[in-house]
């Protein structure tokens, strides 16, 4: 994949030995305008995760990812806002009927944790990928190295 190439291809299960790694979920800069109770998604996730090993995070995409059972085959989700990754979790995906807010699926987050903030400038994240970007081995390697520094 070339740098800058859009990642709008299938979010469904990979075939053969190409196992699905997960995604980076990118929250919009205007997050605080939509959700008046929190200034940013990191603050809300920390609040919602208190005392819970598992909780849901609603989202909307034209073409949601395929269903994933968080107890059997979770994938890694890095959470980002303002071009910075701030947390991660193991996740599953559950489809839901579209609700009044337009959400059509939810991530089931397991073992969410806030992490050292890593800017997108430290990772080879393609531009134009929308709010859900597929993780690659290269991005994960760069992220894991940046966390250790």
At residue 72, φ and ψ (nearest 5 deg) are: -110, -40
Beta partners for 54?
110
Token duo for residue 19: 């196992």
d(CA 56, CA 149): 31
The pLDDT score that the predictor gives to residue 7 is 31
Low-confidence ranges of the chain (pLDDT < 50): 1-18
**CB contact at 8 A, 59 and 25:** yes
At residue 14, φ and ψ (nearest 5 deg) are: -75, 160
Token duo for residue 44: 């809300």
**CB contact at 8 A, 22 and 147:** no
């Amino acid at each position: 994949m070339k740098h800058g190439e859009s990642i709008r291809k299938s979010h469904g299960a990979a075939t053969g030995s190409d196992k699905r790694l997960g995604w980076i979920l990118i929250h919009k800069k205007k997050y605080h305008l939509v959700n008046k109770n929190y200034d940013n998604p990191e603050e809300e996730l920390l609040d919602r995760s208190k005392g819970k090993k598992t909780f849901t995070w609603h989202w909307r995409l034209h073409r949601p990812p395929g269903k994933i059972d968080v107890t059997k085959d979770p994938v890694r989700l890095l959470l980002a806002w303002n071009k910075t990754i701030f947390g991660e979790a193991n996740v599953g995906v559950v489809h839901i009927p579209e609700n009044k807010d337009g959400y059509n699926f939810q991530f089931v987050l397991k073992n969410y944790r806030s992490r050292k903030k890593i800017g997108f400038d430290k990772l080879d994240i393609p531009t134009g990928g929308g709010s859900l970007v597929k993780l690659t081995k290269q991005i994960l390697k760069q992220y894991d190295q940046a966390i250790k520094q």
